[in-house]
Every structure is written in structure tokens, then in C-alpha cells.
Structure 1
Amino acid sequence: MSLSVTVHQTIAEIPAEAWDATGAGRNPFTTHRFLAALEDSGSVGEGTGWVPAHIAAREGDTLRGVSPCYVKLHSQGEYIFDHAWADAFERAGGQYYPKLQCAVPFTPVTGPRLIADDPAVQRGLLNAMTQLCLQNGLSGAHVTFCTEAEAELGESAGFLPRSTQQFHWVNDGYSDYAEFLSRLSSRKRKALRKERERAQAFGGAIRQLRGDEIQTEHWEAFWTFYQHTGARKWGRPYLTRAFFDRLHDTMRDDCLLVIAERDGQPIAGALNLIGPDAIYGRYWGAIEEHPFLHFELCYHQAIDFAIAEELDRVEAGAQGEHKLARGYLPTETHSLHWVADPGFRRALEDYLDRERRAVGEEIDFLRDWGPFKRG
């Protein structure tokens, strides 16, 4: 196969239909419309530390594969943490930034990153990343939240694999939430019933909004919630207000907005994106504090939706061992790393070997402590 590879400074340089046809359209976060919303809204691009450098592989005039890539000037908004790597490399006299990041910005969701149906094209995309680093003085290439199959292919191509974990809820064919509860131990079952009762007794109503049910005033309220959470966690929100306008214009049918209202006014909300087989929890915020309302809007309501829509799972984002008690079990996630400096590579290889063993042991331990009945 003879491939030609190009690097694009904006997703708009690649036609949306061609981009999505590579397989990128199967996951809401790798669709052309989602990545375009990030760029068009100014959430990524000049001044953000996320400079688009999308890679496209063609055979003749046919687009065969793509990878969403960015030249990074920091390690913010990635959720596969390498700040310690950067510190160690720079204390040893190296320059860690800029680096190449193959990822969906601000989105700790597993999905395709070497987006092509042919493994040969996927290897071509990986090779293009390393060449881009070598030709432009970038310290390395990092492919985060890739699929397990991509991680195996990347390791065979010389990238270093890394394992981390998230908590996912898996739909075992439940007919309703009550059937899910019946699979839990008695103590956990009673605790979750009480938790939902207390959350729903906050003095208002909870609404699930999708598609045209979501109106401008709902986005205005959610922007307030998002800013509140962003300021508390990160210092400043990653996304701009214009991003949510773009999301409404191009992806509202892919969104589930769960809103808590009191006296007719929104006081809290959780934003989810819907894929063909999963619902993905992304952002939450509130302007009033009520017991367990966060768990209700982010986790229990997502389970209700997944059961009703017969989705395979709920992915509720990064970190959070508190999800375990609510039926979300630890799940291995994958990334790939290539660095140009051979000494630094050897150090990372040793570190990642030990880290993978530790992550595997932690997943086994946490699964044993899950809320489900033994056996």
C-alpha cells in the first residue's frame, strides 16, 4: 500500500463526510462535528496550548485513515497524567514541551485514535506521528484513551503501552433499575434506595432533556453550572460558552442534559453524550448544595437512561472510587507513548511495566470490594 500523509492545522481542511467515513463517526467524540465545535468555539487553538495538527492518510485520492492530533504546550486537559514525566525530563536537561498528543481534548473517554479499518493504515498513522516529532523537535507522541486493539498494535510498532483505570457501569440486560438493585448485596441495595430517595427529595423536579427538548435557557443555566465546577477544580473552565452553542447547533440529538429544577429554576445539571452503545457522563455543576444530588444526576439518572435505551454501559469519566458503591466497576483504559530520547524511553519503559502491574492488582482488589452479590 502506498500512503500519502498530510498534517492539517484545522479540522475544516478535511471534509466532514470523508472524516466520519473512516470510522470516526462511530464515536460521538471523534466525529468531525465535535472536533469542529472545539475549534470553532476557541476551546482549542491559538492561546489554549492545544494546537491542531490532525493527521490524514490517503491512498490516491481516497482518505483511508485519520488521527485527531494536537501540538501541546502543557499537560492540561488530558487526564492521562504525565506532569511528573515532564518534571523529571526537564530536571535532567531535556525539553518536554512541545509534544504531540493524539487525543480528544478534555475528554477522558476511550475511543478510536488510529482511525482506519486497515491495520497497515493504522501503523502508517503511528509512523507519521513519530516522523512529525523528529522533524519538528517535539519530545514525543502520546496516544491517549485508545482502544485495547490499538494499544496492542501500537506496542508492536514500538510505542510504550500504559494502563490506567476508570469506573464503568455495565448493563447486564436489566429491565429496570429495580432489577439492577436486586443484583447488589442487601446492605448496598438499601443504601442506594435511601440515597436516591434523599436526592429526589431536594424540593424540586429532575428532568431528562434530549434533542429539541434542550432550549437556549438550559444551556445558559448549564454554562453557569460548568463555570462553577471549572473554577473549583481547574482554576478556569477549559470550554468556552460558544462551545455549548455549537454543541446545540450540531449535536443536540447526541446530548442528554439532566436538569434539577426548584421553583421552576435550574439549580444543577449533568451533561452526557450518547453513543451507539454507551452513554458518556461529561460535566456536572450546581448552584445549590443538596445531599446526594450529584450522585443522582450524574450516576443514577445515567443508569436509568442506559436501561431504558438498552445501551451496553455508562462511562462516567475519570477517577472517582465513590462510583464503586453505585455499581460502577473498575475498567482498564489504555494509552501509547513514544519519546525520542533513548535514555528517557528506557526510564519510562521500566516505570510503565511496574505501573501496569500495580493497576492490574488495584482493579482486581476493587472488583472484589464491589457492591454486587458474591458469586
Structure 2
Amino acid sequence: MDAAVVTDLTTISSDEWNALRGTEVPFLRHEFLAGLETTGCITADIGWLPHHLLLRDAKGLAAAVPGYLKGHSWGEFVFDWAWADAYERHGLRYYPKLIHAVPFTPATGPRILWRPGLDATEATMLAVEASKAVVAERDLSSAHWLFPSPAQSEALEATGLLRRTGCQFHWHNDPGYRDFQDFLDTLTSRRRKSIRRERRQARESGVEVVLKTGDTITEQEWHTFHALYARTFHEHGNVPLLTTEFFVHCGQTLGESVLMVQGWRDGRMLAAALLFRDDETLYGRYWGCFEDVPGLHFEACYYQGIEYCITNGIQRFEPGAQGEHKISRGFLPTATRSCHWIPDPRFREAIADFLHRETPMVERYIEEMHAHTPYRIGRGNE
């Protein structure tokens, strides 16, 4: 099997890429990843150089791994600034590094895509060896596999990569709720009242909440959404790297996999939340508003999503990174993973020691957060 690197995903046909397993996740589809490149969101000038791994055999494309050479650690949500600082203190270069991830997207999913029928274990071993070869050939400090699925995380660890544990807050449709009220009935009385109050505040504000799929969102609505997204990023001191063209592209090419919860008043869209979905998971991504309306953020970003999952039989809702305030709204602490290849034996040993000490602290944090479950005793504590 031959390995190669491509720095322009448009050189690979979307049919060939999307035939691989794992591309049922919208962020891993050719349309999404290539769209980041063609609409100017991912460029070497801003520290993101596409470096996708391809494995081919006699039958064609056997496996692929999205990848990027990074000149910094922004936009990853697995924080390794201390590792970079340690390299610098020892007179060594940490950047550029190789990451296998979806840019700006801390969503759990496959990181190795493979052709149906190909042995997954073999695909993992070959992909890891190809990644290590890139690190060696380009004299990179490291390779990082961010937010792999649990099964792929275990397979990556089995090849000798170091595992790091993180925490997000996810909602689970475990009992298969009949409707939103059925979900509320599993919560404590205090939390039910609080959620009802927040939803009532949004309704009484005069804002009409509308949910649209990507193929029904107008170009003007995308322009308004980009303004909302950019405003929120600027308010938090961040740079909004996604372009209006990218959002329009996603709506046109991913269609019903894209959802927008819009808040309208007096003929004006004053707030919106953008989400993506596949058959199993709903992913919350971006939120923005032109004015603060009581309860609207929670309605658009959380409650509309939960209701959508229940209605459409979706099992999991990942609303984004971090946020302990999500617990009281039904989202429970959930372990996430990343896997790391550090070729320098000295730093590999030091980072392994750091992870040995960090992991129990993260696990204790998850356990402590579970103690604040909004569910009645016996629910939500599995």
C-alpha cells in the first residue's frame, strides 16, 4: 500500500473520498474539508497548511487521514501550549507540528477513514506509520490525533501513541424520550422549573424561533449569520476565520446535515445558532446575537437541539467544548480523547509523565461534575 500527502483536497474527487467509512460525519465529508480550503478559511498564511494522508492499493483509495501542518496551537481545543514552551526553553522547535483533526471543530469522530471491507486495525497501523513518516521526513516535533472516536482512540493507543483525556458535556437520548416533556420529567423539580422559565422568557420576548436546514437558508441569511458569528468572536477576543462563502457552501452542499436556529423579531434576524447533524449525533457549533434576549441563547443552542434530537431519533448532542453551565440543562460530563506521537524520547518520557499525573485529575473532575447531575436519583448517573 502506497502512502502520499496531498495539500489540496480538490485534487481528490468527492466521490472517491466520500466512499470511505467515517464520512457519514458531516465534518469529514469532502464538501466540508475541501470547502475550508477553497473559501479561504485554511491557508498557510494563517498557520494551517493542509497535509492529508492518502493510502492507496491496487483497488484505489484505501484510507485517508485529514491532516494539517500547524504553525501554532489555536483552533484545536486540546491545549499544548506548555509543551511548546518546554521545547522552546530547551532551544528546540515545537512548530510546525502535524495534527489530524477537523479545523476549529472539537467534535468526536473518526480520524482515519477507510474503504468498506478493509481491516480497520490494519488501516490504523498503516495510517499511524504514514503519519510518523511525515514527522520524520519533515523534521516535525510531533503528530497529534485530536478527538478520535473511542474505538479509534484505543486503536491509536495500541500503536504506542500517548493518550490524553479531556472533558466535554454531552446530552444523551438514552431512554429514547417521547418528547421534550418526557425529558423534563427525568429532571429534578428545581431544574424543570428553571428550564421552563428560560424557554418562557424566550417566547415572551417577542422573538420567533425558526429552525431551517441548509438547503432552505437564503444567501442573505448566511450573510447575517456571518455577521452574528464574527461579532461573537470579536467580543471574546478571537479571530473569525470562517468566511461567508464557506457557510453558503456548507448550506448548498451539505443540505439537511446543516441546521440553523434563527431568532426573528420585527422582520429582523437578531440571533442564530448553527448546528450540524448525522444519523447519530447533533453537533452545536456557532452562536451569535445582535442583542441579549433573556433565555434566547439557551433556547437556540440547547433546548431546540434537544427537542430536534428527540423528534428525529438522534442519540447524542455535542453542543461544543467546555461549559459547566450545560450540566444544569441536561448535558453530562463526557470524557474525550486525543493521541500524541512525540518522537524525541526525552520529551516523550516527560509528556508521558505529565499525562500520567494529569489524567487522574481530569477523571476526578468528571466524577465531581457528575455529582451535580440535574437528573433525579438513578437517572443520568450511569
Question: What TM-score, normalized to structure 2?
Answer: 0.95
Alignment-derived partner of residue 291 in structure 1: 294
**Aligned partners of 2:349 and 2:187: how far apart in 1?**
45
Alignment-derived partner of residue 363 in structure 2: 360
Alignment-derived partner of residue 259 in structure 2: 256
- Encode CA deviations 1:257-309: one digit per residue, 9 max, x unaligned: 00001101000000000111111000000001111211111001100111111
Q: Does 2:127 correspond to 1:125? A: yes
Q: Does 2:284 correspond to 1:281? A: yes
Give yes or no for contact 1:133–1:140 (8 Å, CA) kept in 2.
Answer: yes
**Which of 7, 13, 18 does residue 5 from structure 2 map onto?**
7
Percent identity over paired residues: 41
Runs of 4 or more, structure 1, over 3 Å off, are none
1:6-25 aligned within 5 A: 6-25=4-23
Equivalenced residues, count:
373
Give yes or no for contact 2:171–2:316 (8 Å, CA) kept in 1.
Answer: yes
Give yes or no for contact 1:65–1:122 (8 Å, CA) kept in 2.
Answer: no
AA aligned to 2:40 is: G
* CA RMSD of superposed structures (Å): 1.1
1:61-210 aligned within 5 A: 61-116=59-114, 117-118=118-119, 119-171=121-173, 172-210=175-213
More displaced 10-residue stretch of structure 1: 112-121 or 62-71: 112-121
More displaced 10-residue stretch of structure 1: 279-288 or 40-49: 40-49
Give yes or no for contact 1:115–1:122 (8 Å, CA) kept in 2.
Answer: no
AA aligned to 1:107 is: T
Secondary structure of 1:370's counterpart equals coil
Q: Which runs of 5+ in 2 are unaligned?
A: none
**Aligned partners of 2:63 and 2:329: how far apart in 1?**
39
AA aligned to 2:32 is: F
1:61 CA displacement: 3.9
**Which of 298, 310, 322 does residue 307 from structure 1 map onto?**
310
More displaced 10-residue stretch of structure 1: 26-35 or 116-125: 116-125
- Encode CA deviations 1:43-88: one digit per residue, 9 max, x unaligned: 0023121100100111224211100000000101001111111112
- Encode CA deviations 1:76-106: one digit per residue, 9 max, x unaligned: 1001111111112111211100000100000
1:336 CA displacement: 0.5
Give yes or no for contact 1:77–1:238 (8 Å, CA) kept in 2.
Answer: no
Q: Which runs of 5+ in 1 are unaligned?
A: none
1:358 CA displacement: 1.3
AA aligned to 1:149 is: A
More displaced 10-residue stretch of structure 1: 247-256 or 169-178: 247-256
**Aligned partners of 2:237 and 2:343: how far apart in 1?**
30
1:229 CA displacement: 1.0
